[in-house]
């Protein structure tokens, strides 16, 4: 039994995904529609935009510039239904152990369950624990922000450094950047990479006597994080001259209270979370403490409320009006039927510049899998590569390929109406560029249009012949547009949760476990071995590297030799 | 005639690329080799690492963990030869107009031609002009760094802000980050996005009386750059109270002296470059002024020297030992024969964190094309999507998909032996992780290995059965490892030029023009139209939006309406 018998009935039919009726119907439909140009669909249908747009609060999701018809949407929703999307979502919200390889519930939704309805795991309601940690976060961040939290030397804290990596880094870092206009607490910095340069640059201008470190590691054993934490500890103790300072300058976001205490952190300053909070879904938990320090706990609570509003939409809206479901099924449509390999995330707001990196983890670590629920290797593509940069920067970098390259790249354009920094006509230009890109990618420009334009510009026929094909745009490049009135904690919560549920939808259709990450283990183990070997070699010991391939061996030897030369 | 008759003879054979003998030989060879595991190739051949590694100065290029044999390399080089790689490279270095759609030479190599050998364009040696601008850059940056350059109020300059986008941004920004340990001049900042938040955050803590702006735009008409430049101008003039201050606080990196003068910049403070410097290849030109401000002109010259060393290697090394040729042909091998869609760039040095974004432009804007030299649509894939993040951060984010996803993703691992910030065992750990990842991606882990491990750990048979397939790693994931002794201006020059020439190699094989960028035009034109419409609507005028599709229309209307509500 994977989740429970009701879900099993739906999801374990014994039929390979590509053999199911909805999949075959989509394959047949794709053959019919693959040459249809969206430009023509807009001409033929005056209601297309209304029908293919949805709203929740101030978030508009316009998917009308996709290569879909009513029939496509119907068939995609058939596939979603047949795949058990509804049942698995329901199971997640009810606390069922849908992370079946690790036998865990998946309850980031509990962390922002502002309705406070009970959610049972193994018969126990998790909400009292959730609320207790939120209350602890409120007290702590209020104290730090107000100056009631005194440093070892009695001074207030003016800088907070979050030390964490992966899920303990990308969420808080992305959100702190996105909410920069709301910052009214101490400076917040982030250290993640084990490269010492990351730590050194982050603390270069900080005063140890006024700096507080948040060490974010579920297990408190993550190699990169603990290496940085120990360097931070040395930096602090050397400056303040007393080991006892650690307790006033370090807190832990962790589940391992014993290791936290051994580090010198007061167990009362440990912010707990639970095995049902996956790293890449943890920004809503104690891992979000840096956010609450930067913008205050009330703003952090608004972030949770926005996410909770999306949770309710995802649970309650019929599939036809369900934004995460439609977005997720469009992803399946392109990946599996058009054979696309990447999705671009293009935020038209500088404060959202870390969103692509955040979603890279969110989607690729969740759905970059190739084994299905039965333990079989899948016979279809799963997660594409997620990438992107802030527009308009991307326009001057890689949009060339999106417009005229040989690969079809579905894009999410994420825009904001009102800037937090209204200045001249910057915002009009920014939004004009966003909208124009979606128009250009969809419409394209035909050879006849190019020729007419060149002729009107007085170019001679030989030049026209030479240039015309280079200036043609095929168009028919699919885009979603997500437009917010303004980036607020609440609207950001809506946006992030939209992507989280979209990931779930994809994963259910692909029959994979979106909540484990076995693929990170092997490299970790081998790095441990190689580190030992490097250290022994650097200490002048004999080491047998014969178990490595010749390249790995040579790289280790070169590193040691060149390191010793300095 | 495209370039000149000799090249034409080689590259215009009238045979479609996929019909040439080397291509067909590679296709046949791929069928033979596609199931071969590199793990086995290493076991069978003790010399594999030596044979498939190359060095230039302190740069090691280890390509032995690729899915290639001696035969593969031979066939790839046959294709390179038959495609005219040698001839086109020679043409580029000689000043021939290999950018045929724009009828321009391609001479970023002249900008770093430290041998100063004459390079003729239309019969004129470009080197005297190149050297004159370099000399002008030296004087200017020496003046700014020494404090001889006085601000309007007579104070020295303590902050320099580069305003530019795309090629006028990514190169200097990436290089300034990479060389941060060498910074000994004024603070250097970058503004690129038309989003006002980019400008506002960049100048928030700067003193106008001590700030100098570099406005980097070849044409001095780039919308984003000029919008930011005008906002910077207002910010300055409002603070200093005098239009005359502009001349002491702005310089231009541009070819349009007239527009520069109209802005209020002293024409003597205009740093020129030429139509044979492509934006994405321009960091070696006056566009690199920010770099010379940050690290000094002598260091900037070392950067040029490193690139020049790679230029000579590219020109002189036989194809079998030619790093850019081999790297570029490996890209072709995966893209066209394995059907890969993306390449990951994974720098294991925090200071190189902008390298993936830089190469995104370098590769995707250069080779994201689909029209060949004859003006025909190509029948094969060209440039893949380039993406990546600094390791170890990426390991905790998206490596899951690289290890266990359904897509094959060739990766470049770029590492550095000696850190500029030696601290504890951070560097040993960083390098151990890099090497371990290349080992893990190549070797993988078989089901038998996983089972043995789980059994040794005392797991019961049911659990083993449930987990084993999730813990299997197929391996055979190809990687290049590029290892430098240390990041110096010179080694960075080598590295960047390696990628530049690799892009040329790909483009020649794919028969596309790597040096134009027609694909950015359409969006620009449409943005201009939409901006006008937005402004008219915001001013309360009637505007006919009927020429847009319904989605574009609705987005414009929604923006205007919600903007007015504020």
- Read off the pLDDT of residues A438-486 as tens digits, 9 standing for 90 and up: 999 999 999 999 999 999 999 999 999 999 999 999 999 999 999 999 9
- How much helix, strand and coil, in percent to the nearest 5, is found in chain A? 55, 10, 35
B470: annotated active-site residue: no
Quote the mean pLDDT of chain A: 97
Rounded CA-CA distance A457/A108 in Å is 58
Beta strands in A198-295 (DSSP E): 211-216, 250-253, 270-271
pLDDT band, very low/low/confident/very high, at B13 (cuts 50, 70, 90): confident
Under 8 Å CB-to-CB from B419, ≥6 apart: which residues? A195, A196, A197, B349, B426, B427, B430
Rounded CA-CA distance A73/A326 in Å is 8
Helix (H) or strand (E) run with residue B563 in it: helix B550-565
Check residue A14 and give its pLDDT.
Answer: 82
State both tokens at B546.
């009927």
User: Is residue B94 within 8 angstroms of chain A, CB to CB?
Assistant: no
Rounded CA-CA distance B241/B247 in Å is 13
Check residue A520 and give its pLDDT.
Answer: 95
Better-predicted residue by pLDDT, A316 or B3: A316
- DSSP assigned state of A337: I
Q: Which of B101, B405, B438 lies nearest to residue A382, judging by beta carbons?
A: B405
For B457-482, what is each residue's pLDDT tens digit? 999 999 999 999 999 999 999 999 99
Task: Check CB contact under 8 Å for B227 and A431.
Answer: no
B103: number of Cβ within 10 Å: 10
Task: Check CB contact under 8 Å for B342 and A167.
Answer: no
Which residues in chain A are contacts of B380 at CB distance < 8 A? 406
Using CA atoms, how far residue B499 sits from A96, B70, B98, B382, B485, in Å, is 50, 23, 18, 16, 18
Measured in Å, how far apart are chain A's first and last C-alpha atoms? 58
Which residues, numbered 374 to 433 in chain A, qualify as contacts with chain B under a Cβ-Cβ cut-off of 8 Å? 375-378, 380-387, 389-393, 395-407, 409, 417-433
Rounded CA-CA distance A473/A507 in Å is 34
Task: Check CB contact under 8 Å for A551 and B42.
Answer: yes
Task: Check CB contact under 8 Å for B526 and A440.
Answer: yes
Instruction: Please list the alpha-helical segments (H only) found in B20-157.
Output: 21-33, 38-44, 48-51, 70-83, 85-94, 108-111, 127-146
Average pLDDT over residues A42-61: 97
Interface test mutation site (partner B, options A389, A398, A409, max chain B beta carbons within 10 A):
A398
Q: Which of A376, A406, A432 lies nearest to residue B381, judging by beta carbons?
A: A406
DSSP 3-state assignment of A119?
A: coil
Which residues in chain B are contacts of A403 at CB distance < 8 A? 368, 519-520, 522-523
Task: Check CB contact under 8 Å for A558 and B417.
Answer: yes
Which residues, numbered 341 to 370 in chain B, qualify as contacts with chain A under a Cβ-Cβ cut-off of 8 Å? 341-342, 348-351, 357, 360-361, 364-365, 367-370
Closest CA to A499 of A387, A348, A317, A345: A345
Which residues in chain B are contacts of A527 at CB distance < 8 A? 429, 432-433, 435-437
- DSSP assigned state of A250: E
Can you tell me which residue has the tokens 């014994």? Answer: A14
Q: Which of A440, A531, A550 lies nearest to residue B522, judging by beta carbons?
A: A440
Contact A476, A444 (CB under 8 A): yes
For B69-89, what is each residue's pLDDT tens digit? 999 999 999 999 999 999 999
pLDDT band, very low/low/confident/very high, at B349 (cuts 50, 70, 90): very high
Instruction: Please list the alpha-helical segments (H only) found in A123-208.
Output: 127-146, 170-178, 196-203
Closest CA to B197 of A393, A427, A417, A188: A427
B305: annotated active-site residue: no
Rounded CA-CA distance A324/A314 in Å is 7
Please report the ipTM that was assigned to this predicted complex.
0.97
State both tokens at A537.
């070699």
Check residue A1 and give its pLDDT.
Answer: 38
B244: number of Cβ within 10 Å: 11
Quote the mean pLDDT of chain B: 97
State the pTM of this model: 0.98
State both tokens at A182.
């709301």
User: Is residue B444 within 8 angstroms of chain A, CB to CB?
Assistant: yes
Rounded CA-CA distance B409/A499 in Å is 24
**Is pLDDT of A366 > 80?**
yes
User: Is residue B224 within 8 angstroms of chain A, CB to CB?
Assistant: yes
CA distance B213 to chain A (A): 18
Closest CA to B342 of B495, B448, B477: B477
DSSP 3-state assignment of B62?
A: strand
CA distance A286 to chain B (A): 19
Could you tell me which chain A residue has the CA closest to the CA of B416? Answer: A559
Q: Which of A193, A435, A535 lies nearest to residue B530, judging by beta carbons?
A: A435
Check residue A544 and give its pLDDT.
Answer: 98
**Is pLDDT of B265 > 60?**
yes
State both tokens at B9.
């003879």
Which residues in chain A are contacts of B367 at CB distance < 8 A? 401
Task: Check CB contact under 8 Å for A365 and B400.
Answer: yes
Q: At what angle do helices B297-316 and B489-510 cross, to 10 degrees?
A: 40
Q: Which of B87, B177, B365, B389 is catalytic?
A: B365
Could you tell me which chain B residue has the CA closest to the CA of A482? Answer: B555
Q: Which of A87, A365, A389, A533 is catalytic?
A: A365
* Centroid of chain to Cα A502: 11
DSSP 3-state assignment of B150?
A: strand
Residue B377: which region, alpha, beta or left (left: phi > 0; alpha: psi -120 to 50)? beta
User: Is residue B72 within 8 angstroms of chain A, CB to CB?
Assistant: no
**Is pLDDT of B5 > 90?**
no
Rounded CA-CA distance B505/B327 in Å is 9
User: Is residue A468 within 8 angstroms of chain B, CB to CB?
Assistant: yes
State both tokens at B233.
């101008």
Task: Check CB contact under 8 Å for B552 and A435.
Answer: yes
Contact A543, A533 (CB under 8 A): yes
**Is pLDDT of B11 > 80?**
no
Q: Which of A52, A426, A466 lies nearest to residue B194, judging by beta carbons?
A: A426
Task: Check CB contact under 8 Å for A470 and B48.
Answer: no
**Is pLDDT of A3 > 60?**
no
State both tokens at A208.
């140890």
User: Is residue B538 within 8 angstroms of chain A, CB to CB?
Assistant: yes
Rounded CA-CA distance B483/A556 in Å is 11
Under 8 Å CB-to-CB from A252, ≥6 apart: which residues? A214, A215, A216, A217, A220, A260, A263, A265, A269, A270, A271
Average pLDDT over residues A246-269: 96
CA distance B261 to chain A (A): 22
Task: Check CB contact under 8 Å for A469 and B350.
Answer: no
Check residue A5 and give its pLDDT.
Answer: 62
Q: Which of A194, A230, A428 lies nearest to residue B534, judging by beta carbons?
A: A428
Task: Check CB contact under 8 Å for B467 and A101.
Answer: yes
Task: Check CB contact under 8 Å for A390 and B195.
Answer: yes
For A534-551, what is each residue's pLDDT tens digit? 999 999 999 999 999 999
Closest CA to B382 of B393, B372, B374, B391: B372
Can you tell me which residue has the tokens 């207790």? Answer: A132
For B420-452, what is each residue's pLDDT tens digit? 999 999 999 999 999 999 999 999 999 999 999
Contact A26, A79 (CB under 8 A): yes
**Is pLDDT of A560 > 80?**
yes
Check residue A476 and give its pLDDT.
Answer: 98
Residue B355: which region, alpha, beta or left (left: phi > 0; alpha: psi -120 to 50)? alpha
Average pLDDT over residues A498-503: 98
The Cβ-side half-sphere exposure at B468, using a 13 Å CA radius, reads 18
DSSP 3-state assignment of B547?
A: coil
Contact B39, B475 (CB under 8 A): yes
Contact B348, B41 (CB under 8 A): no
Q: Which of A49, A230, A396, A535 is catalytic?
A: A396
**Is pLDDT of B53 > 80?**
yes
**Is pLDDT of A364 > 50?**
yes
**Is pLDDT of A7 > 90?**
no
Check residue B1 and give its pLDDT.
Answer: 38
Can you tell me which residue has the tokens 């813990």? Answer: B471
Task: Check CB contact under 8 Å for A551 and B64.
Answer: yes
Q: Which of B150, B396, B426, B429 is catalytic?
A: B396
Task: Check CB contact under 8 Å for A529 and B436.
Answer: yes
Rounded CA-CA distance B50/B40 in Å is 16
Residue B286 has φ and ψ, to the nearest 5°, of -55, -25
Check residue A509 and give its pLDDT.
Answer: 98
Closest CA to A442 of A76, A61, A60, A62: A62
**Is pLDDT of B180 > 50?**
yes
Average pLDDT over residues A111-127: 97
A30: annotated active-site residue: no
Residue A481 has φ and ψ, to the nearest 5°, of -115, 125
Rounded CA-CA distance A225/A206 in Å is 19
Task: Check CB contact under 8 Å for A398 and B520.
Answer: no
**Is pLDDT of B162 > 90?**
yes
Which residues in chain B are contacts of A357 at CB distance < 8 A? 389, 397
User: Is residue B97 within 8 angstroms of chain A, CB to CB?
Assistant: no
Which residues in chain A are contacts of B431 at CB distance < 8 A? 534, 559
Average pLDDT over residues A238-247: 98
């Amino acid at each position: 039994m994977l989740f429970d018998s009701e879900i099993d009935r739906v999801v374990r039919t014994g039929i390979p995904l590509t053999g199911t009726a909805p999949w075959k119907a989509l394959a047949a439909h794709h053959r019919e529609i693959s040459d249809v140009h969206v430009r023509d669909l807009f001409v033929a249908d005056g209601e297309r935009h209304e029908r293919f747009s949805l709203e929740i609060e101030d978030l508009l999701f316009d998917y009308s510039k996709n290569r879909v018809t009513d029939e496509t949407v119907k068939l995609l929703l058939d596939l979603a239904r047949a795949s058990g999307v509804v049942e698995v979502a329901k199971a997640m919200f009810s606390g069922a152990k849908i992370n079946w390889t690790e036998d865990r519930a998946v309850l980031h939704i509990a962390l922002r369950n502002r309705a406070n309805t009970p959610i049972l795991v193994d018969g126990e309601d998790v909400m009292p624990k959730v609320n207790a940690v939120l209350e602890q976060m409120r007290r702590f961040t209020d104290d730090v922000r107000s100056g009631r939290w005194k440093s070892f030397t009695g001074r207030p804290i003016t800088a907070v450094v979050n030390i964490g990596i992966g899920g303990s880094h990308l969420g808080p870092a992305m959100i702190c950047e996105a909410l920069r206009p709301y910052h009214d607490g101490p400076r917040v910095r982030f250290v993640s990479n084990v490269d010492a340069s990351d730590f050194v640059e982050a603390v270069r201008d900080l005063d140890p006597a006024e700096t507080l470190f948040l060490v974010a590691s579920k297990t408190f054993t993550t190699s990169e994080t603990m290496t940085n934490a120990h360097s931070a500890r040395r930096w602090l103790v050397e400056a303040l001259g007393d080991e006892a300072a650690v307790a006033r300058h370090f807190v832990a976001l962790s589940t391992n209270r014993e290791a936290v205490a051994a580090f010198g952190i007061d167990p009362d300053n440990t912010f707990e979370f639970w095995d049902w909070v996956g790293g890449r879904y943890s920004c809503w938990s104690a891992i979000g403490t840096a956010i609450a320090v930067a913008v205050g706990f009330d703003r952090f609570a608004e972030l949770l409320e926005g996410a909770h509003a999306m949770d309710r939409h995802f649970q309650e809206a019929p599939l036809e009006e369900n934004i995460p479901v439609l977005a997720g099924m469009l992803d399946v449509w392109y990946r599996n039927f058009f054979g696309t390999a990447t999705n671009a995330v293009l935020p038209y707001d500088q404060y959202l510049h870390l969103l692509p990196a955040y979603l890279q983890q969110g989607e690729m670590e969740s759905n970059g899998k190739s084994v299905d629920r039965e333990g079989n290797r899948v016979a279809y593509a799963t997660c594409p590569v997620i990438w992107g940069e802030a527009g308009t920067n991307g326009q001057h970098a890689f949009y060339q390929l999106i417009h005229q390259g040989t690969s079809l790249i579905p894009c999410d354009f994420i825009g904001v109406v009102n800037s937090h920094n209204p200045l001249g006509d910057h915002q009009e230009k920014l939004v004009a560029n966003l909208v124009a890109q979606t128009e250009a990618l969809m419409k394209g420009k035909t050879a006849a249009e190019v020729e007419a334009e060149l002729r009107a510009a007085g170019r001679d026929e030989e030049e026209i012949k030479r240039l015309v094909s280079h200036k043609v745009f095929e168009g028919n490049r699919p885009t979603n547009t997500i437009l917010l009135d303004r980036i607020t904690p609440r609207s950001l919560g809506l946006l992030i949760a939209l992507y989280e549920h979209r990931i779930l939808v994809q994963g259910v259709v692909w029959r994979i476990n979106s909540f484990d990450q076995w693929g990170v283990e092997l490299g970790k183990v081998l790095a441990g071995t190689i580190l030992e070997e490097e250290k022994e070699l650097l200490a002048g010991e004999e080491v047998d590297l014969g178990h490595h391939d010749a390249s790995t061996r040579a790289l280790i030897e070169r590193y040691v030799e060149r390191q010793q030369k300095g």
